[in-house]
């Protein structure tokens, strides 16, 4: 009966080991870390395309990797240049519910067409329901203003 007991332990532990190994590999496979969004710098124009202190919308075509699928999306970015050294870029997506804001030159404000959110030219909320300022997009200028790059 000792022999039987030993065999039971042997069989059960080997089966458990196999099950554990298979589960570990398949689990790691199923839970593969979602590929980090690969943001990259893309050209959004030149300084000569911009007007000082006037947000200029640029529609950029970006491609995002979604697993094995490459997705192409368009995203609107406002470039705001002070005419000198300072430039910043704002995402056109309203922080309230994701509508695309427009620049209203008359009142020098960004207005959201959906629920009346209003932002100033730095993206700060002036009026309405948006919970926070428009998202900032990294921007840099290269080649003496010939290339303005944003990171999307």
Residues in contact with other proteins by CB under 8 A are: 4, 7-8, 10-11, 14-15, 17-18, 21-22, 25-26, 28-30, 32, 40-43, 59-63, 67-69, 72, 74, 149
Q: For other proteins, which is the closer residue by CB, 17 or 97? A: 17
Q: For other proteins, which is the closer residue by CB, 8 or 97? A: 8
Tokens for 132? 């926070």
Smallest gap from Cβ 83 to other proteins, in A, equals 25
Smallest gap from Cβ 32 to other proteins, in A, equals 5
Q: For other proteins, which is the closer residue by CB, 43 or 136? A: 43
């Amino acid at each position: 009966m000792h022999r039987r007991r030993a065999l039971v332990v042997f069989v059960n532990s080997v089966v458990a080991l196999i099950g554990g190994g298979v589960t570990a590999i398949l689990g790691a496979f199923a839970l593969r870390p979602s590929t980090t969004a690969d943001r990259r710098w893309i050209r959004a124009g030149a300084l000569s395309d911009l007007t000082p202190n006037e947000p200029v919308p640029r529609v950029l075509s970006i491609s995002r990797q979604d697993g094995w699928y490459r997705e192409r999306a368009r995203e609107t970015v406002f470039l705001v240049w002070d005419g000198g050294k300072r430039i910043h870029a704002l995402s056109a997506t309203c922080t309230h519910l994701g509508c695309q804001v427009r620049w209203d030159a008359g009142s020098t404000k960004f207005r959201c067409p959906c629920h009346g959110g209003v932002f100033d030219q730095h993206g700060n909320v002036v009026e309405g329901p948006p919970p926070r300022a428009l998202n900032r997009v990294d921007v840099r200028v290269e080649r003496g203003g010939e290339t303005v790059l944003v990171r999307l």
